Amino acid sequence: MPEETTSIDYVMEAASGPHFSGLHLDAQFLSSPRSLSSSLLADSIKQPFVIGVSGGTASGKTTVCDMIIQQLHDHRVVLVNQDSFYRGLTAEESERAHEYNFDHPDAFDTEQMLECVEKLKQGNSVHLPIYDFKNHRRCSESFRQVNASDVIILEGILVFHDQRVRDLMNMKIFVDTDADVRLARRIRRDTVERGRDVNSVLEQYAKFVKPAFDDFVLPSKKYADVIIPRGGDNHVAIDLIVQHIRTKLGQHDLCKIYPNVYVIQSTFQIRGMHTLIRDKEISKHDFVFYSDRLIRLVVEHGLGHLPFTEMQVVTPTGSVYSGVDFCKKLCGVSIVRSGESMENALRACCKGIKIGKILIHRDGDNGKQLIYEKLPNDISERHVLLLDPVLATGNSANQAIELLIQKGVPESYIIFLNLISAPEGIHCVSKRFPAVKIVTSEIDVALNDEYRVIPGLGEFGDRYFGTDD
Ligand SMILES: Nc1ncnc2c1ncn2[C@@H]1O[C@H](COP(=O)(O)OP(=O)(O)O)[C@@H](O)[C@H]1O
Ligand SMILES: Nc1ccn([C@@H]2O[C@H](COP(=O)(O)O)[C@@H](O)[C@H]2O)c(=O)n1
Ligand SMILES: [Mg+2]
């Protein structure tokens, strides 16, 4: 290899990409049965982003969905319409269709819809029924095949009605359009596309559509994360939504599952530093130098999650600057020994911060035993920054968190800072302590048979403190 290609500058420049760790899963790794449990792997690799779009009839739901799909452009997106799950009427019922309430939740086969969306979420393709609005029936011969995708949009008047359906959604949008505009559009659409006459549309609207809107659709608006006034005319709202979806798609799937997991925004610099500290050939000096830089970034990010109070100061120009005051009741707690490598960065950011210690003995890989702890007496009043550079199984972290909680620290006051997290560790900590925030700089692929993080960086403490010779 030519000399310049091994230089640090070269590595820093060549490193690129989002904040996932650098190991690409290859067939060999995936086929190793003990490398990683398959459900965990599925969780970590594929979690489509599910968007629910609701709103009154003819509010512009389908139009808004089409616009989102067009703008997302480079992502695989599928649209699932609640209409597909209308229960078909028998010939006899069809004769008296004007007496049937198509706007009541019972008009839909919600169980079937749930099953379809769950399958899509798990990465399977599904066959959706095709509904004919003219005959009020499902087409018996054909289905629409929908493949698993990055984004699933579920659209319909009552998609927020059932809690189980809502729970499948990562984002809920309500399209809010004036009732008179909706009625005018509905008359035009139903007469042109659905084989109705104006009188029947008005009669159905007064008898069923409006009352069901008031009873079921409008009350479900409260579940929306975003309300779009004026539907498809609201380009600003649609742009913002598309931008948000793009950001979410760029995030690690575990951040979608656990909202308290934060991966610092990746840059070429960060990727480059990770490339260096993971390299087994790097000198001890460089390992410490680049680890320190990364630790500092994680610490700064973690501090950003602390509460603040607003305050004003007067600048030398005599003007008032409206700013914020840092939270003062803080404490660092390092999990000995590798956590101690993060103390300097914390001290550099928080002048005079108290730092406690917890030592947990690793006895095998599941049995962890608390050996030593020294914590400030008033720790229960402090926000705690828990320090350990590598989150592997999550057992030590959980033990440390449990101790802090026993000492009276509220769960939501704990921020766990690390450089590298294994998905297993994130699952373990976040499931047990959902209010604890985890801030990391990269999420790696998995743990191996020996509970070591893959690709990881080996024994951090030994490499940092020079005891690996
Ligand atoms: N912003 C808009 N301006 C004019 N017509 C619209 C607009 N949005 C939707 N429409 C029309 O109104 C009708 C209902 O819109 P659609 O998106 O199908 O609503 P929904 O899916 O909520 O029932 C369609 O005929 C559509 O072309
Ligand atoms: N056979 C049917 C089935 C449904 N409807 C009406 O469709 C509306 C829902 O579709 P949108 O695109 O408007 O959301 C709903 O209000 C039903 O009244 C129908 O008329 N005939
Ligand atoms: Mg529609």
Which atom of ligand 2 lies nearest, measured to the CA of 133? 1
Which atom of ligand 1 lies nearest, measured to the CA of 155? 21
Task: Tell the residue nearest (CA) to atom 1 of ligand 2.
Answer: 136
Measured between alpha carbons, how far is 197 from 188 in angstroms, rounded to an integer?
10
Instruction: Say what the pLDDT of residue 365 is.
Output: 53
Query: Which tokens go with 274?
Result: 């990770």
Instruction: Say what the pLDDT of residue 280 is.
Output: 94
CB 100 less than 6 A from any atom of ligand 2:
no
The alpha carbon of residue 76 and the mean position of all alpha carbons in its chain are separated, in whole angstroms, by 18
Cα of 231 vs centre of ligand 1, distance in Å, is 8
| Pocket mutation for ligand 1, best pick of 154, 173, 185, 191 (most atoms within 8 Å of C-beta) | 185
CB 89 less than 6 A from any atom of ligand 2:
no
Task: Tell the residue nearest (CA) to atom 4 of ligand 2.
Answer: 102
Instruction: Say what the pLDDT of residue 361 is.
Output: 79
Cα of 213 vs centre of ligand 3, distance in Å, is 15
Query: Which tokens go with 379?
Result: 């720790």
Using DSSP's 3-state secondary structure scheme, residue 258 falls into coil
Query: Which tokens go with 212?
Result: 């069901």
Residue 55's H or E segment, with its range, is strand 49-55
Instruction: Decide: 465 and 288 in contact? Cβ < 8 Å.
Output: no
Secondary structure E strands in 346-441 = 355-363, 367-374, 383-387, 390-391, 414-417, 420-421, 437-440
Spell out a b/e string for 243-264, using b for 16 or more CB atoms within 10 Å of the CB, else e: eebbebbebbbbbbbbebbbbb
Task: Tell the residue nearest (CA) to atom 10 of ligand 1.
Answer: 60
Instruction: Say what the pLDDT of residue 364 is.
Output: 55
| Pocket mutation for ligand 2, best pick of 54, 66, 83 (most atoms within 8 Å of C-beta) | 83
Measured between alpha carbons, how far is 249 from 267 in angstroms, rounded to an integer?
17
Which atom of ligand 2 lies nearest, measured to the CA of 196? 20
CB 461 less than 6 A from any atom of ligand 1:
no
CB 156 less than 6 A from any atom of ligand 1:
no
Instruction: Say what the pLDDT of residue 231 is.
Output: 93
Residues in the chain: 469
Instruction: Say what the pLDDT of residue 18 is.
Output: 32
Task: Tell the residue nearest (CA) to atom 12 of ligand 1.
Answer: 185
Instruction: Say what the pLDDT of residue 250 is.
Output: 73
Spell out a b/e string for 201-232, using b for 16 or more CB atoms within 10 Å of the CB, else e: beebbeebbbebbeebbeebbebbeeebeebb
CB 66 less than 6 A from any atom of ligand 1:
no
Using DSSP's 3-state secondary structure scheme, residue 282 falls into coil
Task: Tell the residue nearest (CA) to atom 11 of ligand 1.
Answer: 185
In DSSP terms, which residues pair with 66 in a beta bridge? none
CB 245 less than 6 A from any atom of ligand 2:
no
Task: Tell the residue nearest (CA) to atom 18 of ligand 1.
Answer: 62
Instruction: Say what the pLDDT of residue 433 is.
Output: 97
Instruction: Say what the pLDDT of residue 32 is.
Output: 38
Cα of 60 vs centre of ligand 3, distance in Å, is 7
Q: Which of 218, 213, 243, 294 is nearest to 71 (CA)?
A: 243
CB 86 less than 6 A from any atom of ligand 2:
yes
| Pocket mutation for ligand 1, best pick of 53, 54, 63, 235 (most atoms within 8 Å of C-beta) | 63
Cα dist from 21 to 338, 444, 455, whole Å:
21, 5, 8
In DSSP terms, which residues pair with 333 in a beta bridge? 356, 386
CB 144 less than 6 A from any atom of ligand 1:
no
Instruction: Report DSSP state, residue 88.
Output: P
| Exposure on the CB side of residue 302, measured as CA atoms within 13 A | 33
Instruction: Say what the pLDDT of residue 44 is.
Output: 43
Phi, psi of 54 (to 5 degrees): -125, 175
ipTM: 0.98
The alpha carbon of residue 34 and the mean position of all alpha carbons in its chain are separated, in whole angstroms, by 27
Q: What is the mean pLDDT of each run of 10 residues along the chain (469 residues)?
A: 41 36 36 38 62 97 94 85 96 92 97 96 93 92 90 96 96 96 97 95 97 98 96 95 84 83 89 95 96 97 93 94 90 95 96 94 64 93 97 94 96 97 96 97 93 94 89
